[in-house]
Amino acid sequence: MPEKTVSNPYHIAQNRIRTAVDKLGMPDDVYERLKSPDRILEAAICIRMDSGHLKTFYGYRSQHNNALGTYKGGIRFSPDVNADEVKALSIWMTFKCAVVGIPLGGAKGGIACDPRNMSSRELESLSRGYIRQVGCVLGEKMDVPAPDVYTNPQVMAWMMDEFQSMYGGRYEPRVITGKPLQLGGSPGRLDATARGGCYAAREAAKTLGTETKGASVAVHGFGNAGQYAAILSEELLGSKIVAVSDSRGGIYNEKGMDAQSLIDHKKNTGAVSGYENSQPLSNKALLELPVDILYPAALENVITAQNAPDIQARIICELANGPITPEADDILENKGLIVLPDLLANAGGVIVSYFEWQQNEWDGEETARRLERKMIQAFKQLNEYQKIKENVTMRQAAYMYALERIVETMRLRGWGEFV
C-alpha cells in the first residue's frame, strides 16, 4: 500500500484494528463496532484576542469506546489538530487503557491553534470557551480530560473552574486530571509519560541481555515528555543523552549532554539549537543516529517508509502517539529493531491520571513505585503474549491483547450479538 494512503492517523488506527481482528479470527462485526468513535463533537470557539478583534478557533472531542470504563483522554493545543487526528487518538487511548489494565475507555480532544503565539489571557479564554462547548459530554463518570501536547496543569485548572461555573458552582475535581497539586493533582503526573517509557525501555534492554547504564539516547521532540525522558534516562537508566531536537532542529554530542542544562537552555532561548559544545543536526538526521535508545516524543508519522531503512536505534520507545507508519513498522521489524509501541510505551500518563482520578493521596515516591509496578507487569504480560501468538510484532500483540479484553468486556455487558 503506498505510504500516502496511510499517512492519515485515523486510517492508520483503523488499519491496526483490522489487522488485529483478522489475526485473532474475530468476526467483521468486531471491526465494524470499533472502527469509529461512539461520538465526536466539533465546536467553533470564538474569543477576543489581545488585539481587540474576535477570532474563531475550532475544537474537537472524540469519545471512542467506554466498555472498560469512563472515557479518558487528553486535550491538545496544536496547529495540526483536526477531526481525524483526535478520532485516531481516542482509538489509541481505548486500546492503551486495555493494554495496561486500567478500567477506563478512550477519548481525546484538541483545538487547532498555535499556543506559542498566544498570551496567557488568550489561552485562558480559549480553554474556558472549549469547556463551554464540550462540557455537556464531560464529567467524572462520563469523560475525564487531561493535558496533552502544549497543554499543562494551568490549562486544566482553567477548564475545571469553567466546568464548575457551568454547573452551579459544584466542586468537581475529578472531571479533570493533570491538575495543579493545589487543586488535587497527583505528584508525579508531569513526568509520568516519560517515566513509564523509561521503565519500558529498561525492561526491553533486559530482553536483549544488555543494560541501560551508559547507553546512548536520542530524543526527537523536546517538549514535556521529551525533556523528562532526557532527565529520567540519566537518573533512572544511567544513560547518556547524545542528541535532542525540537521543531527548529537538533543538536548532537557523542560524549553526552547534561539533561537539565539542556532544558534550561531551551527555556532561556526557546530552542535547543545553540547549546554549548554541540553540533547542529536535522530532525531527520537525529532519527537515523546509531543510538541504543531512540525516543520519538513529538507527533505522528515521523518514521516512514522513506527513512525507516536508515533507522539504527536498537530500541525505539514511542513516547508520542503514532510516530511510526505501518510501512515503516514492517521495515523496522525486518531490521530486527525493538519497537516499544505507544499503547505500552507512553501509557504512564494515563496510568497516573487514573491514580489522580481515584483521588489517591500518594506522594511522588509512592506514585512512581506504583507506576513502575504497573509498567513492568504490562511489559511482561505483553512480552509473553507476543511469544504465545508467534510471528507478530509487539505492536500487533498489543492490539490483539487489548482487543480480546475489550471484546470480552463488551460481551459481558451484552453489547450486541457479534461478541
pLDDT of residue 300: 87
Average pLDDT on 182-197 reads: 93
* Closest listed residue to residue 207, CA positions, set 288, 315, 312, 346: 315
CA distance 332 to 121: 45
pLDDT of residue 170: 86
C-alpha dihedral (56, 270, 110, 147), degrees to nearest 10: -130
pLDDT in tens, 225-239: 999 999 999 999 999
Going by their DSSP bridges, the two strands 240-246 and 216-220 should be labelled as parallel
Name the catalytic one among 108, 179, 240, 266. 108
Rounded distance, CA 392 to CA 266, Å?
40
DSSP class of 186: P
Q: What is the pLDDT of residue 359?
A: 80
d(CA 408, CA 128): 38
Q: Could you give all domains of the chain from N- to C-terminal order, each with its CATH number?
A: 36-178 (3.40.50.10860), 192-345 (3.40.50.720)
67-106 pLDDT, tens digit per residue, is 999 999 999 999 999 999 999 999 999 999 999 999 999 9
The rounded distance, in Å, linking the Cα atoms of 90 and 321 is 11
Consecutive H or E run containing 26: none
Residues 6+ apart with CB under 8 A from 316: 293, 294, 296, 303, 324, 332, 337, 338, 339, 340
Average pLDDT of the chain to the nearest whole number:
94
pLDDT value of residue 134 = 97
Q: Is 306 left (phi over 0), alpha (psi -120 to 50) or beta?
A: alpha
395-414 pLDDT, tens digit per residue, is 999 999 999 999 999 999 99
Q: How many CB atoms lie within 10 A of CB 169?
A: 8
Query: Per-residue DSSP letters for 229-254?
Result: HHHHHHHTT--EEEEEEETTEEEEEE
Three-state secondary structure call for residue 316: strand
Q: How far apart are the C-alpha atoms of 168 and 344, rounded to whole Å?
A: 39
Cα–Cα nearest to 229, from 325, 353, 349:
349
Least confident of 249-253, 305-309, 389-393: 389-393
Give Cβ neighbours of residue 76 (< 8 Å, ≥ 6 apart).
108, 109, 110, 111, 148, 149, 150, 151
Q: Roughly what angle, to the nearest 10 degrees, separates helices 364-389 and 192-207?
A: 40
DSSP calls for 319-362:
-SSS-B-HHHHHHHHHTT-EEE-HHHHTTHHHHHHHHHHTT---
Contacts of residue 162, Cβ cutoff 8 Å, sequence gap at least 6: 127, 128, 131, 132, 135
Neighbours of 336 (CB within 10 A): 7
Tens of pLDDT, residue by residue over 320-371, are 999 999 999 999 999 999 999 999 999 999 999 999 998 878 888 999 999 9
pLDDT average, residue stretch 282-291: 96
pTM of the full predicted structure? Answer: 0.94
Q: What is the pLDDT of residue 2?
A: 40
The predicted pLDDT at position 418 comes to: 54
Range 140-147 average pLDDT: 96
**Cβ 64 vs Cβ 106: under 8 Å:** yes
Q: Is 61 helix (H, G, I), strand (E, B) or coil?
A: strand
Q: Label residue 5 by pLDDT band (50, 70, 90).
A: very low
C-alpha cell recorded at residue 229: 525522558
Give residue-wise pLDDT tens across range 157-168: 999 999 999 998
Query: Residue 342 class from Cβ within 10 Å (0-12 exposed, 13-18 middle, 19+ buried)?
Result: buried
How would DSSP label each residue in 105-125? Answer: EEEEEEEE--GGGS-HHHHHH
| Extended beta strands in 10-116, E state | 39-48, 54-65, 71-78, 105-112
Active site residue 108: yes
pLDDT at 417: 63
Q: What angle do CA 95, 100, 106 make, to 5 degrees?
A: 35
Is 50 exposed, middle or buried (CB count within 10 Å of its CB: 0-12, 13-18, 19+)? exposed
Over range 252-259, report the average pLDDT.
96
Residue 3: predicted pLDDT? 43
Percent of all residues in the chain with a pLDDT value above 70, rounded to a whole number: 98
- In this prediction, residue 243 has a pLDDT band, given cuts at 50, 70 and 90, of very high
> Which pLDDT score is estimated for 360?
76
- For 40-58, how does the pLDDT look when each residue is reduced to its tens digit (9 = 90+)? 999 999 999 999 999 999 9
